[in-house]
Chains A and B, each alone.
Chain A
């Protein structure tokens, strides 16, 4: 039986957390943090982007990786949803398509931790012989 939590319980938690909160001065410098933007438009949501985003938030926290996970609008890659845009400080942003939980785990383990790009990148610009 769950004990129903209330604002009073939140207040107690707040004072506990406040004493052990690490000052994130990096909050003033978002460009120094890993940024992940999850596309959360109708196509994304219908394809499970919500699960992907929750998984990313939980897993990155679990592994102690400092990253900011935010939701963004449609990036235009509706055929490849769920999509995420990963920006590692100092590198160009990379867009991954078909990011389900397994793919997200792979991206965290290989790209974020070992800096090895994984399959499934959507290139930023196509230039073909026809429209070059």
Chain B
């Protein structure tokens, strides 16, 4: 993948297919420790311990249209190429947590990319999934909880074009304030 925001979009697709209703995306930038951590937690169907071990294998997938599942393997490869870490924790009927750490200043670390665009695409989708996005850097913290947003909106749909435009500005503005890496 060209950038990290696309990896996030990819792993969240897995959560959506696992029938999650709440997806938490945590992005933490720690320049003093040379670490960039991305953690995606969902409350979907989860996996058994055997499945967790097989999930990293690109030739294992739970879908039926083809026999290859690259999302997790590519994410892991990217993380480990930058002296980072990768782990999956999962429990059946509870959910799954995918954590990837990257060397922030490593030459091979992909850029963050259009994080606002990815978030917008996920949040404004006409489905009933809620997202909690937390971005933490030494410059500040930004938390976006779609449950709060939907509550503020009452019966105005979150996919309404003016709401989308507003959310795009809100997310971009807040990220510009605190994001350190591109």
- Give A residues with C-beta under 8 Å from B: 2-7, 9-11, 13-14, 17-18, 21, 40-43, 45-46, 50, 53-54, 57, 61, 68, 70-71, 73-76, 78
Residues of chain A with a CB closer than 8 A to B153's CB: 10, 14
How close is B9's CB to chain A, nearest CB, in angstroms?
6
Structural contact, A70 and B117, CB atoms closer than 8 A: no
- Give B residues with C-beta under 8 Å from A: 1-2, 6, 9-10, 13, 16-17, 63, 65-66, 69-71, 74, 114, 117-118, 120-121, 125-127, 148-149, 152-156, 160-164, 166, 169-170, 172-174, 176-177
How close is A61's CB to chain B, nearest CB, in angstroms?
5
A-B contact pairs, 10 of them (CB 8 A): A7-B148, A9-B170, A17-B163, A18-B154, A21-B156, A42-B71, A43-B70, A46-B1, A53-B121, A54-B117
Structural contact, A17 and B160, CB atoms closer than 8 A: yes
Q: Is the interface of B mostly helix, strand, loop or mixed?
A: helix
Structural contact, B6 and A5, CB atoms closer than 8 A: no
Residues of chain A with a CB closer than 8 A to B118's CB: 50
Bound-state CA distance A68–B124 (Å) is 11
Other than A57-B164, A73-B65, give 7 A-B pairs with Cβ distance below 8 A.
A13-B163, A14-B152, A18-B154, A42-B69, A45-B1, A71-B121, A74-B66
Identify the closest chain A residue to B162 (Cβ): A17
Structural contact, A14 and B156, CB atoms closer than 8 A: yes
8 Å CB contact of A41 from B13, B154, B166: B13
How close is B119's CB to chain A, nearest CB, in angstroms?
11
Known contacts A2-B172, A61-B161, A73-B17; is A13 also within 8 Å of B166 by CB? yes
How close is A3's CB to chain B, nearest CB, in angstroms?
7
Structural contact, B63 and A70, CB atoms closer than 8 A: no
Known contacts A42-B71, A46-B6, A68-B126; is A75 also within 8 Å of B161 by CB? no
Bound-state CA distance A5–B173 (Å) is 7
8 Å CB contact of A70 from B9, B126, B152: B126
Structural contact, A50 and B117, CB atoms closer than 8 A: yes
Identify the closest chain A residue to B6 (Cβ): A45
How close is B14's CB to chain A, nearest CB, in angstroms?
9
Structural contact, A5 and B166, CB atoms closer than 8 A: yes
Known contacts A42-B74, A70-B127; is A10 also within 8 Å of B166 by CB? yes
Identify the closest chain B residue to A76 (Cβ): B65
Bound-state CA distance A2–B176 (Å) is 9
Known contacts A45-B6, A70-B126, A71-B121; is A2 also within 8 Å of B173 by CB? yes
Known contacts A17-B163, A78-B66; is A71 also within 8 Å of B155 by CB? no
Structural contact, A70 and B148, CB atoms closer than 8 A: no
Structural contact, A10 and B170, CB atoms closer than 8 A: yes
8 Å CB contact of A5 from B2, B121, B160, B170: B170
Known contacts A10-B152, A17-B162, A53-B121; is A74 also within 8 Å of B65 by CB? yes
